[in-house]
Amino acid sequence: MTLWLVRHGETEWSATGRHTSVTDLPLLPEGVASAEGLAPRLATHTFGLVLTSPRVRARTTAAHAGFPDAEVDEDLAEWSYGAYEGITTDEIRETDPAWTIWTGHTPGGETPLEVSTRLDRVIARARSHGGDTLVFAHGHALRALAARWLGLDIANGRHFLLDTATVSILGFDRQTPVVTHWNS
């Protein structure tokens, strides 16, 4: 079984590096075009389970990529940035110079443990399904999901750079969880 990850297409805030969790932004025209460009690649594979974050940008990407009936899974929502919603890392670091989402405190947002717990549920669901699963979600959430797939602490998600409208694949090598493709 494999777990295919698709990050949503570009939005105004993803293009400018603004942290976007609960703010429901539409895709930019370029984001729609990128999502449509994923359709031929994803159509070559059969998925037994297709899930999407509840956010419009993920659901729209799923629809334009050929999966308008993807099942909404709240556990795939982006990491909640709390007070840091809508601002960039550089702006956050003006008051907290060492801050990262992976190791820093996010006032009013989710903790790494909270994010890890819900993404572990996504992994358990995909693995119990038994077939190949496709998910549409967000940059930090998918990077964290990859770390958890590998059995790593969520902070290791910082090592998995992920562009918009890309496909990544997680699988197994002799029962060992592995990354088979990333950010392609």
Distance (Å) of CA 31 to CA 7, 48, 124? 11, 26, 30
| pLDDT grade for 63, boundaries at 50, 70 and 90 | very high
Q: Residue 178 pairs with which residues in a beta bridge?
A: 171
CA quadruple 104, 106, 112, 115: dihedral sign: negative
Q: Supply the pLDDT for residue 27.
A: 98
Is the pTM above the cut of 0.85? yes
Instruction: Specify the amino acid at residue 155.
Output: A
Given 10, 19, 64, 78, the catalytic residue: 78
- At residue 159, the pLDDT reads 98
pLDDT tens, position by position, 39-51: 999 999 999 999 9
Residue 74 structure tokens: 């709240």
Contact 129, 1 (CB under 8 A): yes
Where does the pLDDT of residue 180 fall: very low under 50, low under 70, confident under 90, or very high at 90 and above? Answer: very high
Do the Cβ atoms of 107 and 88 come closer than 8 Å? Answer: no
What tokens does 9 get? 């297409």
* pLDDT for position 131: 92
Q: Catalytic residue among 8, 19, 64, 140, which?
A: 8
Question: What is the edge-to-edge ordering of all strands in the sheet holding 133-137?
Answer: 71-72, 49-52, 133-137, 3-7, 167-173, 176-181
Please report the domains of the chain, with CATH numbers, ordered by start residue. 3-181 (3.40.50.1240)
Distance CA 21, CA 138 (A): 9
The verdict on whether 140 is a catalytic residue reads no
Query: Is residue 135 within 8 Å of residue 3, measured between CB atoms?
Result: yes
Residue 138 DSSP one-character state: -
Residue 45, classed as helix, strand or coil, is: coil
78 a catalytic residue: yes
Amino acid residing at 132? D
